[in-house]
Amino acid sequence: MNRLDVQLLQSIRGYPAVSILLPTHRRSPDNLQDPIRVKNLVQQATERLLAEFSKRDVEPLLARLEALVARIDYRYTLDGLALFVNRDLAREFYLPFAVKERVIIGETFATRDLVLALNRSPRYWVLVLSEKPT
């Protein structure tokens, strides 16, 4: 994740924009429950969308969400997971800290935790010294 990713998510406007955030686990056997938690939150988001829209209207969004969930590799998650989906975009981000489990459907994506992760990430400078060109 970088600043451009966050700026892209923050620039997108349009209802519905689905944000799913949840804490995850780095190690087995605790991480075995993560796919179940994601599935439950996706089901919750689906039910909320179908309560507002017809299935035909949200079918592209739901298809993107299912494809996004299918490509998550739970063996390499960190302490939190953020999923962002609308009609045109589907992105996942692994966060280095636990987040509150929630599903947010709104005009914009819920990027507060991404901004926090971006600001908490240490920046490094690398200095390479050599007698020969590097």
* CA neighbor of 104 nearest in space, from 131, 86, 126: 86
Residue that wins the pLDDT comparison between 133 and 26: 26
Q: What is the pLDDT of residue 121?
A: 63
- What one-character-per-residue DSSP string does 68-107 give? HHHT--GGG--SEEEEEE-SS-EEEEEESS----EEEEES
* CA neighbor of 47 nearest in space, from 20, 83, 67: 20
The top-level CATH class assigned to 3-120 is alpha beta
pLDDT confidence band for 30 (50 / 70 / 90): confident
State mean pLDDT over 103-113: 92
- Arithmetic mean of pLDDT over the chain: 88
* Choice among 26-30, 103-107, 110-114 with the minimum mean pLDDT: 26-30
Alpha helices in the chain (DSSP H): 3-11, 34-52, 55-70, 112-120
Q: In sequence order, which residues have a C-beta less than 8 Å from that of residue 88 and are 6 or more positions away?
A: 12
Coil, strand or helix at 128:
coil
- For the entire predicted model, the pTM comes to 0.83
Q: What is the pLDDT of residue 31?
A: 78
